[in-house]
Amino acid sequence: MESLMTLSIGDFRAAELSLRLTVALIGMTSLLMLLGITCTEARYRLPLIISGVALLGAAWFEAGVWMAWREAFELAGTSYCVTGHLLGGEDRVIAWSLGVPAILMAFALFKLTFEKAGTKQFRLTAMGVLLLAIVTPFSGVLGFLLFVAVAFLLGYRITRSNPARKYILTALASTALGILLPATLGSLHSLGGGSSGDLIRGEILRSLIDILSLVVPAVILLIGALRLPDQEVTAVKG
């Protein structure tokens, strides 16, 4: 009979800390975006409200991932043993499918602000974002393909003179890096540590992915909402 998986106290707390940090960062970013509407121009408030509310929901589901982790192990002497409770992997997927499409939609609104002729492209982007939110929980492959399509629509024909250009491209790059990390770092299992080591590294890696896909683009969005009005004036004068 195989022995039950056990985690050292240090490993358990490292993974738990990464989960707590993810929940805290997403929640704090959401509150900052919602509070940011008090000091931005009216046309930038809707993107902040959409993404701020979506991130609030994402933080709720990320908290479910953290609580499931705590329930999955219990302290037994000098190590943590499994209890039989399942980890909350589906909560993490739902959090991603809530936050990322909302942030992409917010950037689409940014782009529309500076491109009067982009209404048709905006409708296509909105449809792609909606499909991304619906499909991702059921198929990761289709979700990735839809993200590529939405990223193409956001980056398509965006000129260097567009003040929102660098914010959109940087946010897309951060989200894409979060999506590709599992494939590029999949060989981490070769570092050793057995199944428990793989589990700990996996949880920390997934937390990093959530930060790159949710927190970093949202912060870029918030900075853009605060700075774009001044940059737009500078672009017009130039």
Query: Per residue in 13-57, pLDDT tens?
Result: 888 999 999 999 999 999 999 999 998 888 889 999 999 999 999
Residue with tokens 């929940």: 23
Contacts of 224 (CB under 8 A, 6+ apart): 110, 164, 167
Nearest Cα to 24, choosing from 184, 207, 195, 185? Answer: 207
Q: Which of the following CATH numbers is that of domain 6-237: 3.40.50.620, 1.10.3720.10, 3.40.50.920, 1.20.1070.10?
A: 1.20.1070.10
* 230, containing H or E segment: helix 216-237
Reported as a single tens digit per residue, the pLDDT across 191-231 is 334 466 678 888 888 899 999 999 999 999 999 998 887 66
pTM: 0.87
The Cα 27–Cα 9 span in angstroms is: 27
The Cα 51–Cα 143 span in angstroms is: 19
